[in-house]
Structure 1
Amino acid sequence: MTDDGPDPFTNMFEAPAKLARALFAPLTEATTGTALKPEDMQHWAEVGTKLQGMWLEYQTEQLGDPQAFAAYFDPARWMRMADDWYRQMPLADPARQQALMQEGMALWQQVLGQYGLSPEGQPVAEGDPDLPRSDRRFADPRWRAHPAYALIHQTYLFLAERVAEMVDRMEGLSDEKREQLRFTTRTITEAASPSNFPLLNPVVMERTLETRGDNLVRGMEHLLADLRRGQLSHTDDSAFTLGENIAVTPGKVVHETPLYQLIQYSPTTDTVMETPLVIFPPWINRFYILDLNPKKSFVRWAVEQGVTVFMVSWKSADASMRDVVWDDYVRAQIDAIDHIRARLDVPAVHAIGYCVAGTTLAATLALLHRRGEQDKVASATFFTAQVDFEKAGELLNFVDDPQLGVVKAMTADGYLDGRYMAATFNLLRGTDLIWNYVVNNYLLGENYPAFDLLHWNGDVTNLPAKWHEQYLRDLYRDNRLVEADALSVDGTPIDLGLVATPSYIQAGKEDHIAPAESVWRITDHFTGPLKFVLAGSGHIAGVVNPPAAQKYQYWTNDAAPRSLGEFREGAAEHKGSWWPDWIEWLREQDGATVPAKGKRKPGGRGDTVIEDAPGRYVATR
């Protein structure tokens, strides 16, 4: 990789020739020792021809159709990143290499001993292998069935462990730089896993022999389909249709602007809460994460609790939105609030903000307070939303100047292709959301499952370039939202310290996008009555957890904890979903009810609506 010295990763696999022959010869004999029949040879030749032809066809297509965001996926860019990473690591130090070699050989002897083999590969005893390291990527028994594959994955896990330790022990690094190096190290070691390489993966090798290479043909079909769409597939998208088996809660689009559509859902109860609810989902994703199907739908459940529910459906950005900035999203939230108030003739609404829309809702509340219009919002609920980005987690690794420069280079048309954000979020959980699918769908040739959550995850939206750059720079990088009057919205300075709106704050215990510690900090800035709830699971499953599923748990603390640590220490655990706790809290804010008639039933007599839910905007690309 560099000229600074020998690569310890190569050295680690320079085992004595006698040992290598003793271990790997049985595998070679198993795959080549039996003479191939003429029909088998012909089949393998056909497989090779198919693979070559498919790849050549794709290359020919790409000559006239370069990827819109090739700068991000350019292999040279990632090679440079890996080279920069290597140069920062203390791997070229001879003493470090010698120590690694010694530990590595001791590991080999330990593993071989579990298989009753001497260091020269000769059998000495029988025993059940008890390997020193475990990882779910190597949980299949075939990784342990032969000492060669055991050595491969145990050596990998050993090296990954030692390299991670090096990052933790390196001197002279700032906290920010160390976190970046940790993230890069994990990304590279995940990519280097032997499970990702056909010849090193016994499960793939066995599947290839069983199918006579047909799995590789199917895998190539999957790979090329993903390359053509510029996005890794996680599910069978043909299994889902908006309005038919996802986003199916009945309702009408009752208002529309160039930035969003407003959906009102049809009531299922005779009476409803007088104060309606408006939900602001993140425009980074589609709104129907809260309306996946009848069993999982937060929208349907809330309607069944007697709530008049409105949902904002944001438009995926295109060139017409090149000048859209954060102020426009704040104004859109206020516009939706005002439209609902006028439509139903009510003084206020309850509001929910999810993720980035929750951050924006906080700014909206601060703006309304500064203008003396805070009574328009009776209560606010925040789903995994951040306002203080000091502890914002691994996404902070994407907001330095080089990264922002790459993003800017990909937004010449005034918007950021949503596939970039999808790839970024996938990197945060590379093993689960990238390499697991590389192995299953590209190498094993398995068909994609029909999974609504994964379909939503891949249903990307484009982002206005100016808003995206402003958000990353002002909030993530510079953390200006928590500085009183440091930011202005719609010409008005905002101060979160003015916000006295009763608020329900939900965080996910295992959230890797909006860490619980970061979400907690809303409590350091708002001055009104607050209730903080810590939900089991993460950014999605922690939110989308219907009571009927009886999954996970949540924690509450009725004292006055001053930190998330204090909250955890005194928290009471409750089994199942936090949704019932939220609806009880919402009713405490305003328990008045009214008949579900008139414009409470969208599309009824005398009510002009635009179209049926889920509307056009959610389907735009």
Structure 2
Amino acid sequence: MFNPPSFDALLQQLNEAQRQWWQQWAQAGVASGGATAPVSGGAAWPAWPGTDPEWLSRQTDFYRAQLDLWLGLVGAKAPARLIEPEKGDRRFNAPEWEEPLFSFIKQNYLLTAKWLMDSVSAAASDEATREKLAFFTRQYIDAISPANFALTNPEVLKLAAETNGESLADGMKKLLADVQKGSITMTDEREFEVGRNLAVTPGTVVFENELFQLLQYTPSTGQVFETPLLIVPPCVNKYYIMDLQPENSMVRWIVEQGYTTFLVSWRSIPPELGKLKWDDYVADGVIQAAEVVREIIRRDKMNVLSFCIGGELLATAIPVMQARGLDWFESLTLMTVMLDHTDPGDIKHFIDWNVVRTREPMLESGGVISGKELARTFSALRANDLIWNYVVNNYLKGQTPPPFDLLYWNNDSANLALPMHTFFLENMYLNNNLVKPGSFSLCGVPIDLTRIDLPSYVFAAREDHIVPWRSAYGTTRLFRGPLRFVLGASGHIAGTINPVSANKRNYWVNDALPEAPEQWFEAAQSRPGSWWQDWHDWLAPRSGKLVAAPKKPGSKQHAPIEPAPGRYVKARLD
């Protein structure tokens, strides 16, 4: 007579099968060099936790839940509703996912995803390994979502039936077009053009070299502050994130407040400039731009504002200027800038010494780092929103994404010089040298950020996935001058580009600067609306008196070259 195995025996068999699967997955990852490869320094794949009592308890719960799902699907018991998507997960919002078969598929996926994440948490031997494994496991889980495949997505199947397959055919055309251009289409790009409805704040190019163009914006007020403002945006993307459409242009708003405004428009680096170093961006970029501003306005000093990696360029330029006796800056503003890379966030999982070592043989000959490659890395940090969402809607449903200026900018990438970018990865991300005075030199000057004593305004965004706000707070422990730290709601872009007129979101202020960021936040006061007004209130007293606005851009030495936004920002990658 056949005696079925006990549940405990079945559990042991399943646990053994899962152990073997786990080892095969690890070995496959090591062989391919993929996300499941050893984390660093030859670290071994974590041991299987199959004998741990807590692990066995979780396994039991997982198998029971799977059994309940199957029994519910075949009608042996009431359909189970055992797990719900996490808050903010919109992949399964459509009512079609509540149909019995697809509810089963959805819940099976969510239960398995939770099991995988629990497996990583239990198996990893140390915090760093656990964090990296969890990140790439989440990447894997996001990629295999049933929402990403036509046959397991009820919305896709329903639309295909309603359109007699035309939606799938249209999706295939969109996929082939994106394959040809090498990037995922995130917005209807036909609706935008730089210089037509993006980057349209009136101004003039008053200087250019092989690295950047300098824009001087046309005053929109009769009087302006006598101290000019120089803006140093990031060189990874185009500057016009700060000058999108008129209603959400930070540059336009700054000009309207009465600031004589100059802006660095970095060039997307062509192959012939592939030998440029970080030193070149400092000397021929930041310092050169500041020198031109002084010559045009005929003022000894200026205020300077920077954004993201532009802030790191600016911060490293100041010690060089100090060594040369160039006391040109009245104040410094850093927007979502990370100088202390102790905890750089999830992007650290894409950066290790192998990246630097593979580039070392090419540093002398030079080369370019593709802006599209950089954009893909940043998109991978939020894969569901910036990758899989468009895979489903564009390729499986055949839809054209709606026009969105921010996403147009996001796909308008810029190349970087390989030596410059490699220096950035090695010294900032891997060695965290910006917090180690004198650990490296630029332009022959040892870099020591602790000697920066300028009045500084440091802005961070609470949900920033590129510059975690707690890391940005580290700047308060570096500079020795008076400093104001302000925290905005939302993320890297939406938190920063938050027009006053929209009156959206909020920001936090606290004049005290305790050692720990959590202590700062606990005592911070929340204020409604945009942080821009707070910054203006801080900057205006440091901008001198009001004087008549300049009637013409440039000067005899720096004659106008062409209207803003200039040639450099209009160049697009093939």
| TM-score, normalization by structure 2 | 0.88
Q: Does 1:551 align with 2:504?
A: yes
Task: Give 1:274's aligned amino acid.
Answer: E
Shift of 1:481: 1.6
**SS, match of residue 514 in structure 2:** coil
**SS, match of residue 403 in structure 2:** coil
Question: For residues 534-576 of structure 1, what are the alpha-carbon distances to aligned partners after superposition, in whole Å with 9 as ceiling and x for unaligned?
Answer: 0001110111000111111100002342221111011010001
Task: Give 2:559's aligned amino acid.
Answer: T
Task: Give 1:165's aligned amino acid.
Answer: D
In the alignment, what sits opposite 2:245?
293
In the alignment, what sits opposite 1:268?
220
Q: Which of these residues, 136, 140, 160, is aligned with residue 188 of structure 1? A: 140
Q: What is the 5 A alignment of 1:82-481?
A: 84=37, 88=45, 102-108=60-66, 110-111=68-69, 121-122=74-75, 130-134=81-85, 135-146=89-100, 148-173=101-126, 175-331=127-283, 332-373=285-326, 375-405=327-357, 414-481=367-434
In the alignment, what sits opposite 1:608?
559
Q: Which of these residues, 545, 570, 580, is aligned with residue 533 of structure 2? A: 580
C-alpha contact 1:550 1:575 (8 A) present in aligned 2: yes
In the alignment, what sits opposite 2:11?
none
Q: Does 1:499 align with 2:445?
A: no
Task: Give 1:262's aligned amino acid.
Answer: L
Shift of 1:499: 0.4
Q: Does 1:489 align with 2:442?
A: yes
Change (3 A) 1:369 1:553: same
Task: Return the alpha-carbon distance in structure 1 between the equivalents of residues 372 and 443 of structure 2.
Answer: 30
Could you tell me the percent identity over the aligned residues? 39
**SS, match of residue 207 in structure 2:** strand
Task: Return the alpha-carbon distance in structure 1 between the equivalents of residues 564 and 198 of structure 2.
Answer: 11
Question: For residues 427-462 of structure 1, what are the alpha-carbon distances to aligned partners after superposition, in whole Å with 9 as ceiling and x for unaligned?
Answer: 000010000111111111111211110000000101
Structure 1, 209-218 or 258-267: larger mean CA deviation: 209-218
Task: Return the alpha-carbon distance in structure 1 between the equivalents of residues 447 and 384 of structure 2.
Answer: 41
Change (3 A) 1:120 1:205: closer
**SS, match of residue 138 in structure 1:** coil
Task: Return the alpha-carbon distance in structure 1 between the equivalents of residues 478 and 495 of structure 2.
Answer: 24
Change (3 A) 1:480 1:298: same
Shift of 1:145: 2.2
C-alpha contact 1:265 1:303 (8 A) present in aligned 2: yes
Task: Return the alpha-carbon distance in structure 2 between the equivalents of residues 124 and 7 of structure 1.
Answer: 27
Change (3 A) 1:363 1:188: same
C-alpha contact 1:85 1:184 (8 A) present in aligned 2: no
Change (3 A) 1:110 1:591: farther
Shift of 1:132: 2.5
C-alpha contact 1:5 1:92 (8 A) present in aligned 2: no
C-alpha contact 2:508 2:525 (8 A) present in aligned 1: yes
Task: Give 2:565's aligned amino acid.
Answer: P
**SS, match of residue 396 in structure 1:** helix
In the alignment, what sits opposite 1:564?
517
Shift of 1:90: 5.6
Question: For residues 255-314 of structure 1, what are the alpha-carbon distances to aligned partners after superposition, in whole Å with 9 as ceiling and x for unaligned?
Answer: 001000000000010000101111101000000000000000000000000011111000
Task: Return the alpha-carbon distance in structure 1 between the equivalents of residues 377 and 475 of structure 2.
Answer: 25
Q: What is the 5 A alignment of 1:22-101?
A: 80-81=33-34, 84=37, 88=45
Question: For residues 404-437 of structure 1, what are the alpha-carbon distances to aligned partners after superposition, in whole Å with 9 as ceiling and x for unaligned?
Answer: 4566799986101111001100100001000011
Change (3 A) 1:560 1:513: closer
Question: For residues 174-214 of structure 1, what are the alpha-carbon distances to aligned partners after superposition, in whole Å with 9 as ceiling and x for unaligned?
Answer: x3333221211111111011111111111111111111211
Change (3 A) 1:603 1:591: closer
Shift of 1:98: 7.6
| TM-score, normalization by structure 1 | 0.82
Task: Return the alpha-carbon distance in structure 1 between the equivalents of residues 239 and 187 of structure 2.
Answer: 19
C-alpha contact 1:263 1:311 (8 A) present in aligned 2: yes
**SS, match of residue 295 in structure 1:** helix
Shift of 1:322: 1.6
Change (3 A) 1:206 1:229: same
C-alpha contact 1:369 1:498 (8 A) present in aligned 2: no
In the alignment, what sits opposite 2:478?
525
C-alpha contact 1:85 1:181 (8 A) present in aligned 2: no
Question: For residues 89-115 of structure 1, what are the alpha-carbon distances to aligned partners after superposition, in whole Å with 9 as ceiling and x for unaligned?
Answer: 666959999867643442245557xxx
In the alignment, what sits opposite 1:67?
none
Task: Return the alpha-carbon distance in structure 2 between the equivalents of residues 335 and 326 of structure 1.
Answer: 14
C-alpha contact 1:398 1:404 (8 A) present in aligned 2: no
Task: Return the alpha-carbon distance in structure 2 between the equivalents of residues 154 and 336 of structure 1.
Answer: 57
Query: Structure 2: 5+ residue runs without aligned partners?
Result: 1-14, 23-27
Paired residues in the alignment total 543
Task: Give 2:228's aligned amino acid.
Answer: P
Task: Return the alpha-carbon distance in structure 2 between the equivalents of residues 363 and 469 of structure 1.
Answer: 16
In the alignment, what sits opposite 1:58?
none
C-alpha contact 1:111 1:150 (8 A) present in aligned 2: no
Query: Structure 1: 5+ residue runs without aligned partners?
Result: 12-74, 113-117
C-alpha contact 1:408 1:465 (8 A) present in aligned 2: no
Question: For residues 106-150 of structure 1, what are the alpha-carbon distances to aligned partners after superposition, in whole Å with 9 as ceiling and x for unaligned?
Answer: 2245557xxxxx55823766x9x754222421111111122x211
C-alpha contact 1:255 1:609 (8 A) present in aligned 2: yes
Task: Give 2:401's aligned amino acid.
Answer: Y
**SS, match of residue 84 in structure 1:** coil
C-alpha contact 1:410 1:416 (8 A) present in aligned 2: no
Change (3 A) 1:78 1:361: farther
Task: Return the alpha-carbon distance in structure 1 between the equivalents of residues 443 and 501 of structure 2.
Answer: 43
Task: Return the alpha-carbon distance in structure 1 between the equivalents of residues 52 and 122 of structure 2.
Answer: 16
**SS, match of residue 323 in structure 1:** coil
**SS, match of residue 609 in structure 1:** coil
Structure 1, 150-159 or 427-436: larger mean CA deviation: 150-159
Task: Give 1:352's aligned amino acid.
Answer: L
Question: For residues 52-90 of structure 1, what are the alpha-carbon distances to aligned partners after superposition, in whole Å with 9 as ceiling and x for unaligned?
Answer: xxxxxxxxxxxxxxxxxxxxxxx9999641563799366
Aligned-pair RMSD on alpha carbons?
Answer: 2.8
